[in-house]
Amino acid sequence: MPRNFGLALPSLLAVFGVANAYWLMGANNVLTVQRMDPIISPGHVSGHVHAVLGGSNFAFQTSTDLLRQSECTSIPIPEDKSAYWYPNLYFQWANGSFTSIDGGAVIIYIRFSAQLCVQYDLRRIVTHGFADYLFSGTPGATTAFPDDFRMFSGNPSLRTYDPNSFAQQAVTFLCLDFNGVSTRHNGLPNTACPSGIRSQINFPSCWDGVNTDSPTHKTHVSFLSEGPDQGTCNDPNYPVVIARIFLEVYWGTSYYDQFRSQAMNQTQPYVFSYGDRTGYGFHADFINGWLPGVLQGALDNCNCDPYGDPTCCVQQGLFNMTQGQTCRITNSVDEQVLGTLPKLPGNNPVQEEGQNAVAVPDTTTPGILSPVYVYTGDTPSASGTLATPPITVTSVTASTTSVSSPTSISVPSTSLPPVTSSLSSSHATSTSTPPPVPTTSRTTTPNGLPFTISIPTITIPSITFSFPPLPTWFRS
Ligand X SMILES: *[C@@H]1O[C@H](CO)[C@@H](O)[C@H](O)[C@H]1NC(C)=O
CB of 161 to ligand X, least distance (A): 11
CB of 116 to ligand X, least distance (A): 26
- Residue 407 or 447: the one with the smaller Cβ distance to ligand X is 447
- Residue 159 or 220: the one with the smaller Cβ distance to ligand X is 159
Contact between 469 and 309 under an 8 Å Cβ cutoff? The reply is no
* C-alpha–C-alpha distance, residues 204 and 224, integer Å: 7
Residues β-bridged to residue 172? 200
* C-alpha–C-alpha distance, residues 1 and 3, integer Å: 6
CB of 338 to ligand X, least distance (A): 14
- Residue 190 or 370: the one with the smaller Cβ distance to ligand X is 190
CB of 259 to ligand X, least distance (A): 7
- Residue 153 or 278: the one with the smaller Cβ distance to ligand X is 278
Q: What angle do CA 283, 288, 293 make, to 5 degrees?
A: 145
CB of 258 to ligand X, least distance (A): 12
CB of 185 to ligand X, least distance (A): 11
- Residue 259 or 473: the one with the smaller Cβ distance to ligand X is 259
Which residues are near ligand X by CB under 6 A?
Answer: 79, 93, 95, 97, 190, 265, 267-268, 277-278, 294, 317-320, 340, 342, 352-353
- Residue 342 or 468: the one with the smaller Cβ distance to ligand X is 342
- Residue 232 or 444: the one with the smaller Cβ distance to ligand X is 444
CB of 315 to ligand X, least distance (A): 11
Cβ-proximal residues to 164 (8 Å cutoff; 6+ apart), any chain: none
